[in-house]
Amino acid sequence: MNAKQKLVSPPEGGGTILDKESYETLLAMFKSREEANKLMAQVMLTQCNVKESIYWIWKLSRNVYVQDMVNLRTKLGRKFRDDSNLFWLCSTSGKSFVSWLKKKGWLTPWIWAQFKDEIRRGYEAGFKNEYFDVVITLKPEYEVYNIDPQQLKLIEDGK
């Protein structure tokens, strides 16, 4: 690893992984009027594992001014922006987000469960008409993400 990679690489172990609690903390920090809170939140984001935290980054980007989430004057800030595709992420729909995650190989059963019903409802609304009944079924390649709700609860609880 050269010196430049050391400057922009996340800490050993891949960085921290965001969860609901850290999301709520970061949200409060970004919505704070104090500049020090926003700067600390930016530092926390640059130290996180983007792949494992992408759902919470997406959700955060939809609830705060995205320019506040990253300090583009630092290498770590620009790396975080690029790794997370932040400026695209903030304006993308759940359906597009899931499609992007699948292409990157980052889609997990837990993330799929967050969006499955929303995506299905969107397609059902588009197919309603007075002439035909349309049945929507899950494609086989997405069955691997469709796990039992009890297992999902264990994943969410971190067990």
Residue with tokens 């729909």: 93
Is residue 127 located within the same domain as residue 109?
yes
Is residue 7 located within the same domain as residue 44?
yes
Q: What is the pLDDT of residues 141-157, one digit of tens each?
A: 888 887 766 655 555 55
Residue with tokens 């059963």: 109
Give yes or no for residue 1 having a pLDDT over 50.
no
Could you list the residue range(s) of the whole structural domain that residue 43 is in?
3-89
Is residue 111 located within the same domain as residue 56?
no
Degrees to nearest 5, angle at CA 49 with 85 and 94: 45
What distance in Å separates the CA atoms of residue 109 and residue 3, rounded to the nearest whole number? 37
Residue with tokens 């086989």: 140
Give yes or no for residue 25 having a pLDDT over 90.
yes
Q: What is the pLDDT of residues 117-131, one digit of tens each?
A: 888 888 777 777 777
Q: What is the pLDDT of residues 38-76, one digit of tens each?
A: 999 999 999 999 999 999 999 999 999 888 898 888 888
- The neighbouring-strand residues paired with 48 are 16
Is residue 68 located within the same domain as residue 123?
no
pLDDT band at 10 (very low <50, low <70, confident <90, very high): low
What distance in Å separates the CA atoms of residue 36 and residue 112, rounded to the nearest whole number? 35
Is residue 34 located within the same domain as residue 82?
yes
Give yes or no for residue 107 having a pLDDT over 50.
yes
How many structural domains is the chain composed of? 2
Give yes or no for residue 6 having a pLDDT over 60.
no
Longest dimension (CA), the chain: 65
Is residue 54 located within the same domain as residue 82?
yes
Backbone angles phi, psi at 16, to 5 degrees: -75, 155
Go through the chain and tell me how many residues it has: 159
Instruction: Specify the pLDDT at position 90.
Output: 92
- DSSP letter assigned to residue 90: T
Is residue 61 located within the same domain as residue 106?
no
Instruction: Specify the pLDDT at position 81.
Output: 92
Residue 146 neighbours by CB distance under 10 Å: 12
Q: What is the pLDDT of residues 73-105, one digit of tens each?
A: 888 889 999 999 999 999 999 999 999 999 999
